[in-house]
Amino acid sequence: MTELRFPEGFVWGAATAAYQIEGAVAEDGRAPSIWDTFSRTPGKVFQGHTGDVACDHYHRYAEDVALMADLGLRAYRFSVAWPRIRPDGTGPVNPRGLDFYDRLVDALLDRGIDPIVTLYHWDLPQALENQGGWTARETAEHFADYALAVHQRLGDRVRTWTTLNEPWCSAYLGYGNGVHAPGGRDAGAAFRAVHHLLLGHGLAARALRAAGAEVVGITLNLADVQPADAGSAADAAAVRLVDGLQNRIFLDPLTGAGYPDDVLAHVARIVEPDFVRDGDEKVIAAPLDLLGLNYYAPTYVAGRAGGAGSSAYPGTEGGVEFLPPVGPLTDMGWMIEPAGLTRLLERVAADYPGLPLIITENGGAFPDRNTEGTGWVADTDRVAYLDGHLRAAHEAVARGVDLRGYLVWSLLDNFEWAEGYRKRFGIVHVDYLTQRRTPKESARWYQEVISRNGL
């Protein structure tokens, strides 16, 4: 196969999130988040798993950073836990919470690894949820205050700031279909949450910029939405609806175009959008330096009267059919289609020009074919997944997309939300009984990719 080189300066890294790896949920002043509450609620997370210990990264961060250095990572995307910094969401800043990230950032910089901070990866302080969470407008303001508190401590060393991770999940899975914390099931609340998340992003982006942040961005899980039948008008309408609910509802206001009319009309059939106030769209349109994209799998839809739709896409029930994924699948049951990544990158670059892109997450859950005692974890499936998606990303670059980097999900096996620990996404294996880390075959493969800046 021909050699593929990525542009010079291409950022190679890995990603994690606080609740998924840190553990230490009651240490140094941290208060519960919605995920602590949710994971303790019977029936919400696989076998009642919680993030109480997770990968114990809070105590083992130095070892983990050494591992990153060994793999040659140039960047590390992690999230800051809001309930460590402002445990009750609004009140005094907890310096001990900030101390942890201070130490982490220093350890990264010592090894020449660029820290990429995500300010919100789903762990809302429970105290704020008690006041309405993201359905309450005030949460957006509290988020900006919290963002600023983190910047005040880390801003002298951290260049790249992303406000939110996947607001689609926070809103639609958190408040719409109940699969994620806080477990709400109310379509109107989901749209309210979308707006307040975006508003929180805008307020935080503005505050960060004013405080001197160099690169300000957001990470979205955009969907590559495809029709079941490319020639069908009904399927095209279904694509447009789903694209509106997952992509344009975020991208348009973020890039200054305001909410799309068709999306607003759809929302208005479900809830009166009185939560969108004059001036909000201007706040949401705060300048972006970087757009993070998380891509795992494509979405195929058909327009069909009586179609089951999905409660994760409010208003699709009765008119849209989400096609069951066709193999090969990952252990999450997600379809493996690297071409979807090329399509998505090209589409975003074409419709929202001038915005530098970075893949902030991509990876696959696969059961490890373990090799007990050999110190080797063979994850050939993951290597193939990553290889395919990097080729797809390279294809987009070759076609002119301004893609700046790639961060694999994930550095470590970790707490996979409602799936608990049963799904493994890491390029490094974690033995949860001993907390032993073992780089998998994919980690060694990735190390080689990084050192060659290509495949």
Is 221 marked as binding a ligand?
no
Provide CB contacts within 8 A for 334, sequence distance 6+. 296, 297, 325, 364, 365
* Contacts of ligand FCB in 266-305 (CB under 6 A): 294
Catalytic residue status for 166 = yes
Six-digit token string for 235: 């399927």
Is 417 marked as binding a ligand?
yes
Spell out the alpha helix ranges (H) of 155-256: 167-168, 187-210, 233-243, 249-254
Q: Between the CA of residue 169 and those of 120, 122, 278, what are the distances in Å?
A: 12, 9, 26
Q: Which of 46, 67, 6 is nearest to 436 (CA)?
A: 67
One of 22, 129, 166, 337 is an active-site residue; which one?
166
Of the candidate spans 52-60, 100-108, 165-173, 440-448, the one that interacts with ligand FCB by CB under 6 A turns out to be 165-173
Of the candidate spans 161-169, 180-188, 244-252, 338-346, the one that interacts with ligand FCB by CB under 6 A turns out to be 161-169
One of 129, 321, 337, 361 is an active-site residue; which one?
361
- Draw the binding track, 390-419, toward ligand FCB (x: CB under 6 A; -: no contact): -------------------x------xx--
What angle in degrees, to the nearest 10, is found between the helix axes of 380-398 and 441-452? Answer: 30
- Draw the binding track, 345-364, toward ligand FCB (x: CB under 6 A; -: no contact): ----------------x---
Distance CA 452, CA 143 (A): 40
* Contacts of ligand FCB in 204-243 (CB under 6 A): 221
* Tokens 């801003």 belong to residue: 155
Catalytic residue status for 361 = yes
Distance CA 210, CA 213 (A): 7
Distance CA 306, CA 304 (A): 6
The answer to the question of residue 17 lying near ligand FCB (CB under 6 A) is yes
List strand residue ranges (DSSP E) for 96-193, in order. Answer: 114-120, 160-165
* Contacts of ligand FCB in 416-435 (CB under 6 A): 416-417, 425
Min dist CB 44 to ligand FCB, Å, is: 15
Min dist CB 319 to ligand FCB, Å, is: 26
**Binding residue (CB under 6 A) for ligand FCB from 148, 169, 336, 428:** 169
Number of neighbours of residue 209 by Cβ within 10 angstroms: 17
- Binding-site ranges for ligand FCB (CB under 6 A): 17, 20, 165-166, 169, 221, 294, 361, 409, 416-417, 425
**Residues with catalytic annotation?**
166, 361
Binding-site members are 20, 121, 165, 296, 409, 416-417
Binding-site members for substrate are 20, 121, 165, 296, 409, 416-417
